[in-house]
Structure 1
Amino acid sequence: MTDPTAGQRDVNRGRVLAAVTRGANSRAGIVADTGLARSTVAGLVQELLAEGRLTEDAAPAGQRLPGRPPKVLRVAGGRSVVVAVDLGHSHCRVGVVAVEDGAAVVLGEGTARLDVDASPDEAVDQAVRIAKRLLRATRQAADAGGVGLPAPVDVRTGSVGTGNLLPRWVDRRPAAELSARLGVPFAADNDANLGALAEVTFGGARGVDDLVYVKAATGIGAGLLLGGRLHHGVGGRAGEIGHVPVDPGGPVCRCGNRGCLETVASTVQVLSAVRSHEAAPATMADVAGLVTAGDPGASRVVTDAGRMIGRVLADLVNNLSPRQIVVGGELAAATEPLLAGVRESIDRYAQPGLARGIAVTPSSLGVSAELLGAAALAMRLGHAAPS
């Protein structure tokens, strides 16, 4: 008979590893981060140390206090093979990824087109089927997994929050569901957060500790990396820039407000505006083709979207002073006019000293950013023991 507590124990092990990844490097810090009981944390830490998934070393000299030298917990390194799942509004994308020494190699990848919100059960089923097929084809055994989706995820509980593109997923715990089906620990996070994580782990923002990653697609969100750590806010809701009002008299947003950024600058609005004067482009790749061909209407529409996004980002620049802004998502297919619009607004509305010091760049990972972010999440959690 299966132990009914085994699944919860795996989830709690993942929560401990996630807390250490976020900077909770002591048992007391893990308790504060996760809300788990002290005795539970003590037992799980001891297990993970024995398995080599955590290490415990003397703290650096600058962090020591008088008395007995403290020790700090860290996630162990090594090669791991992870399952990465990217759930979008209309796709389920899965990869089997080998990660070692800051490099990721996608060993196998598969995508299913479906309405992810219409049937969460079917989306999870698809992810599991694709993952199992890829693991068989690549002859790999997964050590861990990560999943991203366009919704706030409470990192303490793993639950999906309200007010997102996938309302039928509210209160579901996708990491726990995938873990139970695939037999390895999983972690979940918002897709924009995973884009930020991918860029600093595998992409063009390596070494950057303060970064804003913008995912501009059907929705618009920002992943915030502050001081080298992802900033989630209460309930995982930090970075919801798509719901910043930019036009008080604008259309009603799905969140209930009027004129949110998402109602004027998402791919839905860009495609609609371009269709008003061109033969209907089906995708943002079609719009990018029009831009490349020199179509002035398509270029203006995308530039205007970039200006609106940049206006909201200028406030983030003034408040957070990041070193770099990375723009990704489907809208970034039309890279040049989009970034030009973003840059123009930041230069106009942000403090001059801050604006001059910030780099605005396209995602170096393109459409793979969120998938590789899910791999980076699994890797950082350290679920996989070193090979």
Structure 2
Amino acid sequence: MTTRYRSRNPGSQTALRQSNQQRIITSLVSGGPSTQAEISRNTGLSNATVSNIVKALAERGIVSTAPTTSSGRRALSVSLSGENGAVAVGIDFGRRHVRVLVAGLDYQVIASEAVELPLGHSASVALDAASRLLASVLESSGVSPSLVLGIGVGIPGPIDRRSETVIEGAILPEWVGITHAQIEARLNYPVYIDNDANLGALAEVTWGPHSGTDNLVFVKIGSGIGAGLIFNGLPFGGNIGVTGEIGHTPVHDHGLLCRCGNRGCLETVASTTVMIELLSRTSPTTVATTDIVRAALAGDHATLRIIEDAGLAVGRSVAAIVNLVNPAIVVIGGPLAGLGELLLDPVRRGLNVYAVPMLSETTELVMSSLGEQAEALGASALVLRQTGLLSPLPL
């Protein structure tokens, strides 16, 4: 994994310490248990700097130390605490589910579980379910609650970072007005919140095969459609934290009325909500997202036609992003990821039609390999970044 050390204020003492701390952790991730002298050689940091940071990390339970010998001399061996040490928790709230994921500092997933939520659930109901599931997951995996560094929370909707409040436009309208402080008070841990598509992008450059990629766009196709943006190695949040709302980009001037108030938005032709509505008209039972994937893979003509139309529309919107910011990679994620090329092919054709040829030819379009855990993985990575264990997020 390639880790990049960046900060908006690289000369500050805090930024320098975060960068040095991450260099030490990265050295331990890649090289395993090492003496302080070996860490100093691997990172280029002075022995005194390594000693001070190792002491601070040991006090937080992030690393463990033990006496050893090196070249016949007494030394101190340092190792990541692993699955019995500090952990980061990611929680992904969806329209019908909540997922809790626990990850160690060695980038290993210790546990991941999800439970269903009722359609139209309130934030209170969802947070209660998440709290119970977190307690259960920690207990079953043998992780002490005291070792939780913090919780990253993904919400399918825009979040105004000025007030850290869920605002209009969320797939979960019952969550509009919910604040960071309310979520933190209910979960009783340090909490960091972000939009689910943003966390999908963060997961791709932290956990996925595209780690180290400087410019990446993650497009989540679900009940809503949004894009997470990674520019110059960092998540891009724009002016107030609301970016990538491509689901509300008009693709048909006289199309259906969208929940945002406009007509013909991408979500009215390509969201899983619309697909479910269309396919349920001719089905004796309500169609689920898993049914869409299963029917498409089985070659059902009606399902394939809906996916074709949706993919072309998504490709058109992706082309607008590609023309504007020229990313190296566009990753398609969400609950339809299991469709693979059945969805990627029409998206690619839409991209090729509407993007500048040179840009479409040099932009890699792939399906996410992180599956249903993508947003929760990104949420756990958010904790590691905010606590200084990965490159810090921009202020």
TM-score bracket for the superposition, by shorter chain length: 0.7 to 0.9
For residues 1-387 of structure 1, the aligned pairs below 5 Å read 23-27=8-12, 80-100=86-106, 103-105=107-109, 107-115=110-118, 118-140=121-143, 141-174=147-180, 176-276=181-281, 280=285, 282-382=287-387
Q: Is the 8 A contact 2:98 2:126 kept in 1?
A: yes
- More deviation, 375-384/263-272: 375-384
Q: Is the 8 A contact 2:90 2:376 kept in 1?
A: yes
* Aligned residue pairs, count: 326
Q: Is the 8 A contact 1:117 1:169 kept in 2?
A: no
Q: Is the 8 A contact 2:168 2:176 kept in 1?
A: yes
AA at the equivalent of 1:127: A
- More deviation, 374-383/336-345: 374-383
AA at the equivalent of 1:209: D
Report the alpha carbon displacement of residue 277 of structure 1 after superposing the two structures with TM: 5.0
Return the alpha-carbon distance in structure 2 between the equivalents of residues 21 and 374 of structure 1: 20
Q: Give the direction of change, closer, same or farther, for the CA distance of 1:269–1:133 in structure 2 (3 Å limit).
A: same
Return the alpha-carbon distance in structure 2 between the equivalents of residues 336 and 281 of structure 1: 26
AA at the equivalent of 1:244: T
Return the alpha-carbon distance in structure 2 between the equivalents of residues 164 and 22 of structure 1: 30
Report the alpha carbon displacement of residue 117 of structure 1 after superposing the two structures with TM: 5.1
Cα deviation, 1:103-131, whole Å, max 9, x if unaligned, reads 232x2233232247532112111111211
Q: Give the direction of change, closer, same or farther, for the CA distance of 1:370–1:244 in structure 2 (3 Å limit).
A: same
Q: Give the direction of change, closer, same or farther, for the CA distance of 1:281–1:121 in structure 2 (3 Å limit).
A: closer
Return the alpha-carbon distance in structure 2 between the equivalents of residues 118 and 130 of structure 1: 16
- More deviation, 249-258/138-147: 138-147
Return the alpha-carbon distance in structure 1 between the equivalents of residues 171 and 7 of structure 2: 26
Where in structure 2 are there 5+ consecutive unaligned residues? 24-56, 64-79, 81-85, 391-395
Report the alpha carbon displacement of residue 54 of structure 1 after superposing the two structures with TM: 8.4
Report the alpha carbon displacement of residue 53 of structure 1 after superposing the two structures with TM: 6.7
AA at the equivalent of 1:111: A
Q: Is the 8 A contact 2:280 2:287 kept in 1?
A: no
Q: Give the direction of change, closer, same or farther, for the CA distance of 1:269–1:168 in structure 2 (3 Å limit).
A: closer
Task: Report the TM-score when normalising by structure 2.
Answer: 0.75
Q: Is the 8 A contact 2:127 2:187 kept in 1?
A: no
Q: Is the 8 A contact 2:227 2:246 kept in 1?
A: yes
Return the alpha-carbon distance in structure 2 between the equivalents of residues 275 and 116 of structure 1: 17
Report the alpha carbon displacement of residue 156 of structure 1 after superposing the two structures with TM: 4.4
Q: Is the 8 A contact 1:135 1:142 kept in 2?
A: no
Cα deviation, 1:11-59, whole Å, max 9, x if unaligned, reads xxxxxxxxx97634355xxxxxxxxxxxxxx9xx59x969x9789xxxx
Report the alpha carbon displacement of residue 163 of structure 1 after superposing the two structures with TM: 2.0
Return the alpha-carbon distance in structure 1 between the equivalents of residues 266 and 357 of structure 2: 23
Q: Give the direction of change, closer, same or farther, for the CA distance of 1:108–1:217 in structure 2 (3 Å limit).
A: same
Report the alpha carbon displacement of residue 208 of structure 1 after superposing the two structures with TM: 1.3
Q: Give the direction of change, closer, same or farther, for the CA distance of 1:234–1:351 in structure 2 (3 Å limit).
A: same
Residue of structure 1 in register with 2:38 after alignment: none
Q: Give the direction of change, closer, same or farther, for the CA distance of 1:92–1:25 in structure 2 (3 Å limit).
A: same
Where in structure 1 are there 5+ consecutive unaligned residues? 1-19, 28-41, 56-75
Q: Is the 8 A contact 2:88 2:381 kept in 1?
A: no
Cα deviation, 1:234-292, whole Å, max 9, x if unaligned, reads 32211000000111111111110011100111112222333445665622222222222
Q: Is the 8 A contact 2:279 2:287 kept in 1?
A: no
Return the alpha-carbon distance in structure 1 between the equivalents of residues 172 and 6 of structure 2: 27
Q: Give the direction of change, closer, same or farther, for the CA distance of 1:121–1:277 in structure 2 (3 Å limit).
A: closer
- The RMSD of aligned alpha carbons is 2.9
Q: Give the direction of change, closer, same or farther, for the CA distance of 1:54–1:309 in structure 2 (3 Å limit).
A: closer
Return the alpha-carbon distance in structure 1 between the equivalents of residues 375 and 310 of structure 2: 22
Return the alpha-carbon distance in structure 2 between the equivalents of residues 271 and 332 of structure 1: 16
AA at the equivalent of 1:243: H
Return the alpha-carbon distance in structure 2 between the equivalents of residues 87 and 21 of structure 1: 29
Report the alpha carbon displacement of residue 333 of structure 1 after superposing the two structures with TM: 3.1
- More deviation, 196-205/129-138: 129-138
AA at the equivalent of 2:358: G
Q: Give the direction of change, closer, same or farther, for the CA distance of 1:168–1:314 in structure 2 (3 Å limit).
A: same
Q: 2:255 aligns to what SS in structure 1?
A: coil
Return the alpha-carbon distance in structure 1 between the equivalents of residues 112 and 372 of structure 2: 13
Return the alpha-carbon distance in structure 2 between the equivalents of residues 210 and 384 of structure 1: 21
Q: Give the direction of change, closer, same or farther, for the CA distance of 1:53–1:345 in structure 2 (3 Å limit).
A: same
Return the alpha-carbon distance in structure 2 between the equivalents of residues 382 and 324 of structure 1: 27
Report the alpha carbon displacement of residue 136 of structure 1 after superposing the two structures with TM: 2.2
Q: Give the direction of change, closer, same or farther, for the CA distance of 1:284–1:167 in structure 2 (3 Å limit).
A: closer
